[in-house]
Amino acid sequence: MSTTVATPRFDELPTHLDRAVVKSWKVPAIFAVFTVVGIVLFVVLGRNGVTHFNLSTSTDLIKLPIAAVPTRGAGIIVVIVSAVLTAIAVALSYTARKVPLGVITLFAVVFFAGFLTWAAAGHTLAVPGLLLSAIGISVPLIFGALGGVVSERVGVVNVAIEGQLLAGAFVSAVVATVTHQALIGFIAAMVAGVLVSAILAVFSITYLVDQVIVGVVLNVLVIGLTDFLYSQVLASNAPTLNAPPHFPFLPIPILSGIPVIGPALFRQTIIVYLMYAAIFLVWFALFKTRWGLRVRAVGEHPTAADTVGINVNRTRFLNVLLAGAIAGAGGAYYSLAASPLFTREVTAGAGYIALAAVIFGRWNPLLATLAALLFGFTSSLQFSLSAAGSPVPSEFMLMLPYVVTILAVAGLVGHSRGPAASGKPYIKS
């Protein structure tokens, strides 16, 4: 039973047994690899000194003291905890049980903490600032990933996330500047995302052009359009066309007072709060409502969905538009919150990271959000660590999301299988 099943069509029956045998050894193996890496980095190549963690900012209600952690000692503790978690994972796998997500998350957090301590030896890391910038980088990624999840769940590969983000950023900057209303700019960004999606939908659903090709070409088109309009129109008329008003920060009274994570999560603009709502809504709608069941049915088995009376192409069309609206909203974050104005290719490949988050998050809105957060965190870590004199080159930190995604797609990390009919046009016979 342990052999892999050749034809994906019949993997319904044996998967259960398969999974119990094949999948369970991956997690302990990865844990073991990271534990060994930890032993090498934190103990063998351990750095002496003290790492300081600045846990609160000057405006916090509850002031935490600066935590001073002896680097080598912390490394040894981290390695021990990692080894214990690995042993637990081995024990679970031995009895053919699944390693819970909580254990995996705990392992990741512990290892990350150890890595931070090791990399910033002899320096001070400002944790709230690190988290704040991580959230800032993650917001467009999360919006993009949610758009990707919705679109791929309904069976349309959305490579055009980059284009949707960029179009949203551009349009929101111009509209918000002209109307002097950030909110109108935000809505315009969603409309822009819908327009990009509409092209994707028309070409891939109505005219059956390959979805990946349309997506790639759309990205080039949007980059070309925004670059052209930026250099031709915006650059010379910046005060009248590219000086968008920004959303104010709205601290949530009690929650923003939580030490360490409070300011990063709850002292934000309305876009971020809308993002929290969007994460929940997409998850709830996909898995708990009739609409979500239909969307997933269309993405997994369009013929079956058609047989029970769901209009496959209509469902796909509408949900691709919805995906565009979500991703476009993420684009608005660049122009209306993160940076003072729109600049050329401000997204800089964020759409592709969002695509990676969709896959790494196994097409699940919550996991995709976590993946986007992880990617955002590693990106922001790179800034903090290069400031703290880390021995790891920043390029390798920036490379991490992509390498992790390749490993995920290759089946080395977890088990990533997309919606069965994603990427295939549906032709009613």
Partner 1 sequence: MTATTKSDAPRPSTTPPAPDEEQSSQFQKYVRDIMGGSAVLSVLAVVIALVVGAVLIAVTDPGVQAASAYFFGRPSDTLTAIWSAISGAYAALFQGAVYNFGAADFLSGIKPLTDTLTDSTSLIAAGLGIALSFRIGLFNIGGQGQILAAAACAGWVGFTVHAPFPLLLILALLAGLFGGAIWAGIVGFLKAQTGANEVIVTIMLNFVAFYLVSYLLKVPVLQAPGSTNPQTPPMLPGAIFPPLLGPNYLVTVGFLFVVGATVFLWWLLNRSSLGFQFRAIGDNPRAARTAGINVNRLYVYGMLISGALVGLAGANQVQGVITTGFSSGIDSGIGFSAITVALLGRSKPWGVFGAGILFGAFQAGGYTMQAAQNVPVDIVLVVQSVIVLFLAAPPLVRKIFHLPTPGSTPKPKQKKSAPESAPKAEIVQKEGAAQ
Report the interface residues with partner 1, using CB under 8 A.
157, 159, 199, 203, 207-210, 212-214, 216-221, 223-225, 227-229, 231-233, 349, 352, 355-356, 359, 393, 395-396, 398-399, 402-403, 405-406, 409-412, 418, 425
Q: Smaller CB distance to partner 1: residue 207 or 277? A: 207
Helix, strand, coil percentages for the chain (3-state, nearest 5): 70, 5, 25
Q: Are 177 and 169 in contact (CB under 8 A)?
A: no
Least separation in angstroms between residue 231's CB and partner 1 is 4
Least separation in angstroms between residue 379's CB and partner 1 is 11
Strands 124-126 and 50-54: parallel
Q: Smaller CB distance to partner 1: residue 208 or 250? A: 208
Q: Smaller CB distance to partner 1: residue 35 or 422? A: 422
Tokens (6 digits) for 259: 């030490």
Rounded CA gap, 258 and 265, in Å? 9
Q: Smaller CB distance to partner 1: residue 52 or 424? A: 424
- Written as one string, the DSSP assignment of 221-280 is HHHHHHHHHIIIIITTTHHHHS----PPPEE-TTGGGSTTTHHHHHEE-HHHHHHHHHHH
Least separation in angstroms between residue 195's CB and partner 1 is 14
Phi, psi of 216 (to 5 degrees): -60, -45
Rounded CA gap, 85 and 375, in Å? 23
Q: Which of 311, 315, 320 is nearest to 428 (CA)?
A: 311
Please identify which residue in the block is written with the tokens 């603009």.
269
Rounded CA gap, 349 and 356, in Å? 11
Q: Smaller CB distance to partner 1: residue 46 or 302? A: 302
Least separation in angstroms between residue 53's CB and partner 1 is 27
Q: Smaller CB distance to partner 1: residue 132 or 167? A: 167
Q: Smaller CB distance to partner 1: residue 127 or 374? A: 374
Least separation in angstroms between residue 113's CB and partner 1 is 24
| Per-residue burial over 132-142, b = 16 or more CB atoms within 10 Å of its CB, e = otherwise | bbbbbbbbbbb
Least separation in angstroms between residue 71's CB and partner 1 is 25
Least separation in angstroms between residue 106's CB and partner 1 is 27
Q: What is the three-class DSSP state of 405?
A: helix
Give the C-alpha distances (Å, rounded to integers) separating 192 from 101, 181, 242. 37, 17, 16
Q: Smaller CB distance to partner 1: residue 5 or 106? A: 5
Give the C-alpha distances (Å, rounded to integers) separating 278 from 16, 204, 225. 32, 26, 28
* Beta-strand runs (E) in 34-150: 50-54, 67-70, 124-126
Least separation in angstroms between residue 366's CB and partner 1 is 21
Tokens (6 digits) for 212: 């990946």
Q: Smaller CB distance to partner 1: residue 124 or 416? A: 416
Instruction: Please state whether 5 falls in left (phi above 0), alpha (psi between -120 and 50) or beta.
Output: beta
Q: Smaller CB distance to partner 1: residue 218 or 373? A: 218
End-to-end Cα separation, the chain, in angstroms: 37
Least separation in angstroms between residue 223's CB and partner 1 is 6
Contacts of residue 232, defined as CB under 8 A and 6 or more positions apart, other chains included, come to none
Least separation in angstroms between residue 181's CB and partner 1 is 24
Rounded CA gap, 192 and 189, in Å? 5
Give the amino acid at 17: L
- Enumerate the H helices of 39-179 as residue ranges: 71-94, 101-119, 127-153, 161-179
Q: Smaller CB distance to partner 1: residue 127 or 368? A: 368
Least separation in angstroms between residue 215's CB and partner 1 is 9
